[in-house]
Structure 1
């Protein structure tokens, strides 16, 4: 609200009775803003608590890996037998990008 003071900006609210040019209207506007911020902070707090509780139960977020250890082993065998990464990925029904990423992450972990 302070940033818009002195500018030619009109605030349109869903409740037409709020007139932000009057002291009472500005008060209501700030109260609604404070309530919105309070609700947002509660959501953030609950989300963090949920993630912490899930981590304590041994769960982690994110998608399950597309290239499993078995698929990675078979891909290495295909590549050792002369196939390129694109062909190996096609045979394993994974994208070549996912296979490249899995190969690079395991080779970096091995070294």
Structure 2
């Protein structure tokens, strides 16, 4: 009985440069050499030229297409020259890694030597949640520290209150039967302001 021939694994390259003066040629050449050594078949090349890695998926058309094709299982591995080609944000990067991992797609990062087709590389995925939570905690801490400094310097936080004249005009419109949305639009304030004035009137 003849043993079935194993299908070569299909790899997708993601290439990105931040400015129009840069080129992705070196990234592509090095990844092609890796794929040839590993026996991978090139399934597609996704290239965002002149686009920052800090931008989200909706601002990077090739990256968006990569994720769409990943969900269709059009390749088995995503290869990038470096982790910062995929994203400049840890949170966005972790989200991407979790998505491809959930789809059963491996990741190869050339400069960092990350290869999840190996047991050591697969262990990296176990740390994703830790990194994500760490960044969220750091963001919360920075926000709290910033608010604390603002209060210490006498800054008034939250939306500024409207003047007495505008409040009186809002009350008059509400008394005349004008609706909350129409009143807010007329005076250029949020509906929450009109609702607050109305609540005071009814108390």
Normalising to structure 1: TM-score of the pair?
A: 0.51
Matched, 1:84 2:177: yes
| Superimposed CA distance per residue, residues 34-90 of structure 1 (whole angstroms, 9 cap, x where no aligned partner) | 44543332222111121223234443443334x43221123435666xx4325x938
For residue 25 of structure 1, report the CA deviation from its aligned partner: 0.4
Aligned in 2, Cα 1:105/1:79: closer, same or farther, shift over 3 Å? closer
Q: Which runs of 5+ in 1 are unaligned?
A: none
Matched, 1:93 2:175: no
Q: Return the match for 1:10 from 86, 95, 105.
A: 105
Instruction: Look up the SS of the partner of 1:9 in the other structure.
Output: coil
Q: Superposition pairs for residues 1-111 of structure 1, below 5 Å?
A: 9-12=104-107, 15=109, 17-30=113-126, 34-65=130-161, 67-77=162-172, 83-85=176-178, 89=183, 93-94=187-188, 97=191, 100-107=194-201, 111=203
Instruction: Look up the SS of the partner of 1:85 in the other structure.
Output: coil
What root-mean-square deviation, in Å, do the aligned CA atoms of Structure 1 and Structure 2 show? 4.2
Q: Which runs of 5+ in 2 are unaligned?
A: 1-96
| Superimposed CA distance per residue, residues 5-43 of structure 1 (whole angstroms, 9 cap, x where no aligned partner) | 9x7622446x25533243320344445664454333222
Report the Cα distance in structure 2 between the residues aligned to 1:26 and 1:71, rounded to whole angstroms: 62
